Amino acid sequence: MLKKIANFRHNWIPVLAISLLAVFGLMIIFLDVDLPASRVSQFDGKHILVLMVFGSVVAPVLEEFSFRGFFSNNSKLKKVALVGFLSYTSLVLYSNYSIGFAMANALIFLVLITLYSKFKNNIIFVLFVITNAVVFGLIHYSAEDFIGQLNPYVLTQIAWGLLFTWITINSRLTMAMVFHGALNLVLLTNFLINLQFVSEETTVIEKDNVKISYQQVPVLDSNNTTVNYEPDKVIGKNTTIKSLLDVALYDSNLKGKYSSIVPVARYNFTIEFKDDKRNVAALIELLQEEEMVIKN
């Protein structure tokens, strides 16, 4: 087995990837870090089955073609992948970071590709592989996720990007797509199981004249969602936190500033405001204490 692995090319890549995953694990254990807001909010309001199809089929094909197409043995595919990579990353980096960041990314990659094509230098190749993986990690987040906070989660995407590159180099691009899709499918299936098999117990919490009664319900049991607004209460049936907040905070300056921590989870909710004014600040505090919302 070890002899077979030794015959693979560029084995420094999985070693680096595993090291990054180990660092991530240690940071999660010993440091107090939260899941980045953009990583949560991008799934807000999406149906779990849509996420599973996108995550296990669409995203792996698109991302592996764009990011790992460079490392295939097909020269035509490499050229098409370059166009796909520059288009895809420029759009995402411009949207999530800035136009300057997107332009810098394109320039760096064009320089690295040009230098490697001309000199075939191993150091340039290493820089290209690592830079490719770093950008793969960054496109899953936004600039806000790195401002004034620690974001070790990006290390996981960088590590997987390295491993998928290694698979492409030693096998073929389609195999990287299969591994990528299988990984996402396992993670999303576990996510679905946790959302479908819930306790359905009713929890009541109260703070500053705001009372919330909620019950988590299986995510696939019904597609019928209702949110009703009354002068002194908001009642939601089989709804997401996002739908509830859109109604409860419709005239508040807090609207759009919070996202659900488990965005596709569904609940039966009753929010009661016990005076003439809706204390939305207390509502948000209660939801934060229950670890149900995160500030964007």
Per the CB < 8 A criterion, the answer to whether 67 and 161 are in contact is yes
162: which residues sit within 8 A by CB, 6+ positions away?
13, 14, 16, 17, 20, 129, 130, 133
Reported as a single tens digit per residue, the pLDDT across 243-272 is 777 766 655 666 667 778 887 889 999 988
Q: Answer yes or no: do 52 and 158 share one domain.
A: yes
Residue 263 and residue 266: Cα distance in Å, rounded? Answer: 8
In a domain, 280, yes or no: yes
Q: Is residue 4 part of a domain?
A: no
Q: Is residue 265 part of a domain?
A: yes
Between CA 101 and CA 113, with CA 107 as vertex, the angle to 5 degrees is 135
What pTM did the predictor assign? 0.87
Whether 152 and 244 map to the same domain: the answer is: no
Instruction: Please report the pLDDT score of residue 178 as a whole number.
Output: 97
- Same domain? For 276 and 222 the reply is yes
**Do 279 and 139 fall within a single domain?**
no
CA 273 to chain centre: 34
Q: How confident is the model at residue 1 (pLDDT cuts 50, 70, 90)?
A: very low
3: in domain: no
Task: Give yes or no: residues 23 and 149 share one domain.
Answer: yes
- The band of 6, judged by pLDDT with boundaries at 50, 70 and 90, is low
Q: At 164, which amino acid appears?
A: F
The answer to whether 43 and 264 have CB atoms below 8 angstroms apart is: yes
Per-residue DSSP letter, 207: E
For the chain, the maximum distance between any two Cα atoms, rounded to a whole number of angstroms, is 75
User: Poorest-confidence range of 13-17, 94-98, 198-202?
Assistant: 198-202
Residue ending a domain, among 196, 215, 231, is 196
- Is position 1 within any domain? no
Contact present, 68 and 192 (Cβ < 8 Å):
no
Q: Which domain holds residue 162?
A: 9-196
Work out the mean pLDDT of the chain and round it to a whole number. 87
Number of domains, the chain: 2
- DSSP SS3 for 121: coil
Same domain, 182 and 257: no
Residue given tokens 């089929």 in the structure block = 57
**Last residue within a domain, chosen from 196, 224, 239:** 196
Task: For CA atoms 39, 180, 177, 21, give the dihedral sign.
Answer: positive
Among candidate residues 139, 168, 196, the one where a domain is terminated:
196
